[in-house]
A and B are shown apart, each in its own frame.
Chain A
């Protein structure tokens, strides 16, 4: 099923000409309304008249998260505050939050794109959408909420937390679609088991998970433990919130990014240059319909590649491959680039390993160390030490073989790694405090 046939299946040439038209409109607007862009464009000695084709886009300077921080709170807004009907912000774990504002039309488009996302993921009117993304400054909760309402589904605005109640509601209300982070989906499955609820037997059919990087193995884990089809959704508050891109249920491979509203590019995060077609790099997005905060060439820090081959679902919009990490989450351990998602893939390929793990990066005698904490469960536990040591060695070896990094595996007691009701904290980098 497709929510908006006219736009989602637009021929490629039509997408390109629509993008160019909307890009020019956006550039005209920001170069007048946003001081930062006036400065950036004049520093780059580029006039808007020079942007004649989509390829010219790469002549424009990037926008960084730091730009949003430097212009905290309202400096990036392209419209007066009286046209802004909603304000969201990122958590601001590394400083001031990044603030974003939406006009009425922005909210309307967001709802439309989220409705497209729900339909692409296999949801429809009549679904009972259990929305366990946090409501509040975080965009997840309200983004999914408005989209679900636009779709005409019944939304349960659960927000995050209060896990026991989530399970009760899911059971009593007959939730058919679950929206939450992938780690919370697994946490819910685990908690349901403890409550004596077989989540697999509930009417739950689809999970729509995003807001943190996850692996294909984690998808299988979620699909098996919850008895659902787990779909990957992508978004970021700076660009819109959830619903920037979504997997289609037909392929479950690659996330269609709504190209009538965003222009995606992939660059080399070190050099800022575009990578050859189909190669991995950092995703850069330009918004071409946003009014509140239009962003030109925003560096998302997310690592992916573009899949341009036509999709069997009929949508013509390109796909982003599942995010394989973040260019700024990338750990450099003794000179080797390591993404937590790569370690996750290794762990999940070993039978019996719990989905809960944590990476502790530290430095001892001027050398980086990586400790992988893995929870022991009944399946992996043995009363013989050599069996457990074999498991540790197995993990160490697989990580070494795949990533070239030597790690120490620490087996820990079940539930000893903190569960998160939002985004899981997978990495503790103690080097940052040294």
Chain B
């Protein structure tokens, strides 16, 4: 039920983001979802790609610092309070969201949100117990 995400350390200087996408593109890797968190000095690029390990290897070969983390992809009803309902469930179980970002799906009535939790296993258990749809990694990589 978990989704593999790679994170890349990017110094805040021009051309680095382009370099990452070039490396991935040249290696035939497709980006599925992406989020960039930034500070004044550096950024962290988080990516879900179709071939995680290959992407990690190629990026490392090009001198990037890369690590792999597990995130959770959740289907959120595309209506008012859709996200709120899910966050309330998590809150009730004292599960903390480290960060989250939306995943844009081309044709579906539901939105997909990627969550990074402090307790991944517990979060998945709570969500599924409350009938929230948690998507499998394979589904995300190949959508």
B window 68-99: CB within 8 A of A: 69, 98-99
Contacts of A164 in B (CB 8 A): none
Contacts of A412 in B (CB 8 A): 11, 42
Q: Which residues of B contact A (CB under 8 A)?
A: 5, 7, 9-11, 16, 37, 39, 41-42, 44, 46, 63-67, 69, 98-99, 116
- A385 to B64, alpha carbons, bound, how many Å? 17
Look across to chain B and name the residue whose beta carbon is closest to the beta carbon of A377.
B65
Task: Please tell me if the beta carbons of A413 and B65 are within 8 angstroms of each other in the complex.
Answer: yes
- A383 to B42, alpha carbons, bound, how many Å? 12
Task: Please tell me if the beta carbons of A378 and B67 are within 8 angstroms of each other in the complex.
Answer: yes
Instruction: Give 17 A-B contacts (CB < 8 Å), ordered by A residue.
Output: A376-B9, A381-B7, A382-B7, A382-B67, A383-B5, A383-B44, A383-B116, A384-B44, A385-B37, A385-B39, A411-B9, A411-B41, A413-B9, A413-B10, A413-B64, A414-B63, A414-B64
| Total A-B pairs, Cβ < 8 A | 49
Contacts of A384 in B (CB 8 A): 44, 98-99, 116
Task: Please tell me if the beta carbons of A381 and B65 are within 8 angstroms of each other in the complex.
Answer: yes
Contacts of B37 in A (CB 8 A): 385
Task: Please tell me if the beta carbons of A378 and B98 are within 8 angstroms of each other in the complex.
Answer: no
A window 187-212: CB within 8 A of B: none
Contacts of B46 in A (CB 8 A): 383
Task: Please tell me if the beta carbons of B7 and A410 are within 8 angstroms of each other in the complex.
Answer: no
17 further A-B contacts with Cβ under 8 Å, apart from A382-B7, A384-B99, are A376-B9, A378-B66, A381-B7, A381-B65, A381-B67, A382-B67, A383-B7, A383-B67, A385-B37, A410-B41, A412-B11, A413-B9, A413-B10, A413-B11, A413-B16, A413-B64, A414-B64
A window 358-387: CB within 8 A of B: 376-378, 381-385
Is A416's CB within 8 Å of the partner chain B?
Answer: yes
Is A424's CB within 8 Å of the partner chain B?
Answer: no
Is A389's CB within 8 Å of the partner chain B?
Answer: yes
Contacts of B64 in A (CB 8 A): 413-414
Task: Please tell me if the beta carbons of A381 and B9 are within 8 angstroms of each other in the complex.
Answer: yes
Task: Please tell me if the beta carbons of A385 and B44 are within 8 angstroms of each other in the complex.
Answer: yes
- A119 to B112, alpha carbons, bound, how many Å? 68
Look across to chain A and name the residue whose beta carbon is closest to the beta carbon of B41.
A410
The minimal Cβ–Cβ distance linking B116 to chain A, given in whole angstroms, is 7
The minimal Cβ–Cβ distance linking A323 to chain B, given in whole angstroms, is 32
Chain B, interface SS category: strand
Is A415's CB within 8 Å of the partner chain B?
Answer: yes
Is A388's CB within 8 Å of the partner chain B?
Answer: yes
A window 382-434: CB within 8 A of B: 382-385, 388-389, 410-416
Task: Please tell me if the beta carbons of B44 and A413 are within 8 angstroms of each other in the complex.
Answer: no
Question: Which of B9, B39, B65, B116 interacts with A389 by CB under 8 Å?
Answer: B39
- A411 to B99, alpha carbons, bound, how many Å? 21
The minimal Cβ–Cβ distance linking A130 to chain B, given in whole angstroms, is 27
- A416 to B15, alpha carbons, bound, how many Å? 14
Contacts of A410 in B (CB 8 A): 41
- A389 to B40, alpha carbons, bound, how many Å? 11
Contacts of A389 in B (CB 8 A): 39
The minimal Cβ–Cβ distance linking B57 to chain A, given in whole angstroms, is 13
State the 4 A-B residue pairs at the shortest beta-carbon distance, nearest first: A383-B7, A381-B65, A413-B11, A383-B69
Contacts of A416 in B (CB 8 A): 11
- A414 to B116, alpha carbons, bound, how many Å? 25
Name the residue in B42, B63, B69 with the highest tally of chain A Cβ atoms < 10 Å from its Cβ: B42
- A266 to B11, alpha carbons, bound, how many Å? 45
- A411 to B39, alpha carbons, bound, how many Å? 11
Task: Please tell me if the beta carbons of B5 and A376 are within 8 angstroms of each other in the complex.
Answer: no
The minimal Cβ–Cβ distance linking A82 to chain B, given in whole angstroms, is 54
Contacts of A377 in B (CB 8 A): 65
Question: Which of B42, B66, B98, B116 interacts with A388 by CB under 8 Å?
Answer: B42
Contacts of A378 in B (CB 8 A): 65-67
- Please encode chain A, from 100 to 132, with 1 for each CB lying within 8 Å of some chain B CB and 0 for all others: 000000000000000000000000000000000
Look across to chain A and name the residue whose beta carbon is closest to the beta carbon of B42.
A411
- A128 to B88, alpha carbons, bound, how many Å? 69
Q: A383-B116, A413-B11 are in contact. Are A376 and B65 (CB under 8 A)?
A: yes
Question: Which of B41, B42, B65 interacts with A414 by CB under 8 Å?
Answer: B65
Look across to chain B and name the residue whose beta carbon is closest to the beta carbon of A416.
B11
Look across to chain B and name the residue whose beta carbon is closest to the beta carbon of A413.
B11
The minimal Cβ–Cβ distance linking B23 to chain A, given in whole angstroms, is 13
Contacts of A376 in B (CB 8 A): 9, 42, 65
The minimal Cβ–Cβ distance linking A393 to chain B, given in whole angstroms, is 12
- A378 to B65, alpha carbons, bound, how many Å? 6
Contacts of B11 in A (CB 8 A): 411-413, 416
Task: Please tell me if the beta carbons of A415 and B44 are within 8 angstroms of each other in the complex.
Answer: no
- A173 to B7, alpha carbons, bound, how many Å? 41
- A388 to B10, alpha carbons, bound, how many Å? 12
Contacts of B41 in A (CB 8 A): 410-411
- A412 to B116, alpha carbons, bound, how many Å? 24
Contacts of B7 in A (CB 8 A): 381-383
Contacts of B9 in A (CB 8 A): 376, 381, 411, 413
Look across to chain A and name the residue whose beta carbon is closest to the beta carbon of B45.
A383
Look across to chain B and name the residue whose beta carbon is closest to the beta carbon of A383.
B7
